[in-house]
Amino acid sequence: MSQATLPSTEFPPTAVPQPARVPVRAGWRVVLLVGLGGVAVLLAVLAVSLGSVRIPVPDVVRAILGEPTETASWAFIVTEIRIPRALTGLLAGAALGVAGLKMQTLFRNPLADPHLLGVNAGASFGVSLVLLGGGSALTGGVALSTMEGLGTVTAAALGAAAVMAVMLLVAALIRSTVIVIVIGVMVNAFVLAMVDMLVYYAQPEAVKTFTDWSAGSFQSVTWQALPVLAGMVLAGLVLAVLSVKRLNLFLLGEGYAESLGVSVRAFRWTLMAGAALLAGAVTAHAGPIAFLGIAAPHLARGLLRTADHRYLIPGAAVLGATIAVSAGILSQLPGSEAVLPLNTTLALLGAPVVTWVLVRLGRGGRGLEV
């Protein structure tokens, strides 16, 4: 179809990526992605070596190889706490980075992230029913039988899935992306209000437990839970990779994508389901983690200087993993027994970096295009 038959509003000239520049920069972009991947792996190794308990590097290596260490507890700390924590950070960062990228492309909004779908709010509501519901006056002091015996991971997954189902139904019924995103904000606010009610009537001890979960943590994931998290994240990343071509077409406008054979409603549903899968898996296992979904995609665009999702998807994944593992290391305050909340560390670490990248983009005359 010729361009002249398309609505003019679908083609804001400044929003169209520059495909002609991709072949020229393809080489160094690949090199940069490989380098960033190497940095993420090195940070994961560093995360295994550092922590509140000082363990000599030779003993860390012995623990990884399954050999006896000088102190028996060191082997347990390395294999049962630090390695799962580092792997969880890699998976969570990659998942949230790609989920945020998909949301920003879908809604053409630089501030979009999985929170807009209410995924974190749904997960929080599920966990709040388990941790707060049993002792709350709201439930008349009677434990919610359907939630009894469920762990926080299962409850968070069910809560996120319930909200995701509502939003997918909305996306299937309503064509306007703007209306969908506004409804998402309303659903998010409504679910969080219910969480606030449960918190208000709960016992102080239960509130403390719920607050700790809300702060986010990578170290609560065990070897038993890790395969489930890895499987869900891998499935979500595969869905994202398979959507590369249609994501690039979405940058040119829904009308243009539809004219080339893309079923907008079906693809939008697929994008939201994939993003909710990634964000829901992370939230269920590590708690609601903010910031990464917004920061990683913008860093990827700034460093790779492209809107091509062939590079942005791996870029957002490795940058998200890098930020997450770095925050995990710093939150443990190596050499100290104190542990900072993960979300606090993420904001303290990432906000200055993202601000610096955005300032460079602004001074270079480039806007924040999605």
Q: What is the DSSP string of 96-139?
A: HHHHHHHHHHHHT-TT--GGGGTHHHHHHHHHHHHHTGGG-GGG
Domain assignment present for 4: no
Residue 307: give the domain boundaries. Answer: 27-361
Confidence grade of residue 54 (pLDDT, cut at 50, 70, 90)? confident
Alpha-carbon distance of 368 to 370, in angstroms, equals: 7
Alpha-carbon distance of 163 to 187, in angstroms, equals: 8
Check residue 361 and give its pLDDT.
Answer: 65
Domain assignment present for 15: no
The closest alpha carbon to 344, from 217, 209, 215, 218, belongs to 215
Mean pLDDT of all residues in 148-163: 71
pTM, full prediction: 0.80
Domain assignment present for 368: no
Confidence grade of residue 6 (pLDDT, cut at 50, 70, 90)? very low
Domain assignment present for 253: yes
The closest alpha carbon to 46, from 82, 98, 99, 92, belongs to 82
Domain assignment present for 52: yes
Q: Are 96 and 279 in contact (CB under 8 A)?
A: yes
Alpha-carbon distance of 114 to 293, in angstroms, equals: 7
Domain assignment present for 2: no
Check residue 237 and give its pLDDT.
Answer: 94
Q: Which two tokens mark 248?
A: 């690039």
Confidence grade of residue 136 (pLDDT, cut at 50, 70, 90)? very low
Whether pLDDT at 121 is above 90: no
Whether pLDDT at 313 is above 90: yes
Confidence grade of residue 108 (pLDDT, cut at 50, 70, 90)? confident
Whether pLDDT at 149 is above 70: no
Whether pLDDT at 346 is above 60: yes
Check residue 15 and give its pLDDT.
Answer: 44
Domain assignment present for 154: yes
Q: How many CA atoms are closer than 13 Å to the CA of 48, on its beta-carbon side?
A: 24
Check residue 134 and give its pLDDT.
Answer: 53
Whether pLDDT at 362 is above 80: no
CATH code: domain of residue 278 = 1.10.3470.10
Per the structure, the count of domains in the chain is 1
Confidence grade of residue 59 (pLDDT, cut at 50, 70, 90)? confident
Sign of CA dihedral 32, 34, 38, 40: positive
Domain assignment present for 370: no
